[in-house]
Structure 1
Amino acid sequence: MGKKTVHISDFSGEVLRHEDDVVRVVVLEHPDLVAGPVQLEARPVEVESIDDAALDVAVVEIYDRHGNGEPRRVTLTAAEFDELATDVPMAQLLRTAERVKPARAPRRAADRPDYSTPEHAGKPHRGRVTDEEARYVRENLDEVNKRLADEGLRQIDPADAEHAARYGLPAPA
Structure 2
Amino acid sequence: MGRKTVYVSDFSGAVLDSADELVRIVVLEHPDLVAGPVRLEARQDEVESIDDAALDVAVVEIHDGQGDGEPRRVVLTASEFDSLATDVPMAQLLRTAERVKPAKTGRKAAERVDYATLEHAGKPHRGKTTGEEARLVRDHLDEINKRLADEGLRQIDPADPDHAERYGFARSTDPD
Query: Common fold, TM-score beyond 0.5?
Result: yes
- The AA in structure 2 aligned to 1:106 is K
Rg: which structure is higher?
Answer: 1
Deviation at 1:103, TM superposition (A): 3.6
Deviation at 1:70, TM superposition (A): 1.1
State the distance in 1 between where 2:133 and 2:88 align.
63
State the distance in 2 between where 1:56 and 1:8 align.
31
Q: Secondary structure at the match of 2:21?
A: coil
Quick check: 102-111 or 5-14, which moved more? 102-111
Identity score, percent: 70
Aligned to 2:35: 35
Aligned to 2:91: 91
Pairs within 5 Å for 1:15-164: 15-18=15-18, 20-64=20-64, 68-104=68-104, 106-107=108-109, 108-110=112-114, 117=132
State the distance in 1 between where 2:43 and 2:133 align.
55
CA contact (8 A) 2:7 2:19 kept: no
CA contact (8 A) 1:20 1:43 kept: no
Deviation at 1:101, TM superposition (A): 1.3
Deviation at 1:116, TM superposition (A): 6.4
State the distance in 1 between where 2:99 and 2:8 align.
46
- Structure 2: gaps (5+ residues): 116-126, 136-176
Deviation at 1:95, TM superposition (A): 0.1
Q: Structure 1 length as normaliser, TM-score?
A: 0.60
Q: Secondary structure at the match of 1:110?
A: coil
CA contact (8 A) 2:23 2:44 kept: yes
Deviation at 1:117, TM superposition (A): 2.4
Provide, for residues 86-117 of structure 1, a one-character-per-residue CA deviation record: whole Å limited to 9, x for no partner. Answer: 00000000000000012445322527878662
Query: CA separation of 1:13/1:86 partners in 2, compared to 1, >3 Å: closer, same or farther?
Result: same
CA contact (8 A) 1:55 1:77 kept: yes
Provide, for residues 53-86 of structure 1, a one-character-per-residue CA deviation record: whole Å limited to 9, x for no partner. Answer: 1000000000016995210000000000000000
- Structure 1: gaps (5+ residues): 121-173
CA contact (8 A) 2:61 2:73 kept: yes
Query: CA separation of 1:36/1:119 partners in 2, compared to 1, >3 Å: closer, same or farther?
Result: closer
Alignment: residue pair count: 120
Q: What is the RMSD computed on CA atoms of the aligned residues?
A: 2.9
State the distance in 1 between where 2:72 and 2:133 align.
45
Q: Structure 2 length as normaliser, TM-score?
A: 0.59
Deviation at 1:32, TM superposition (A): 1.1
Query: CA separation of 1:106/1:113 partners in 2, compared to 1, >3 Å: closer, same or farther?
Result: farther
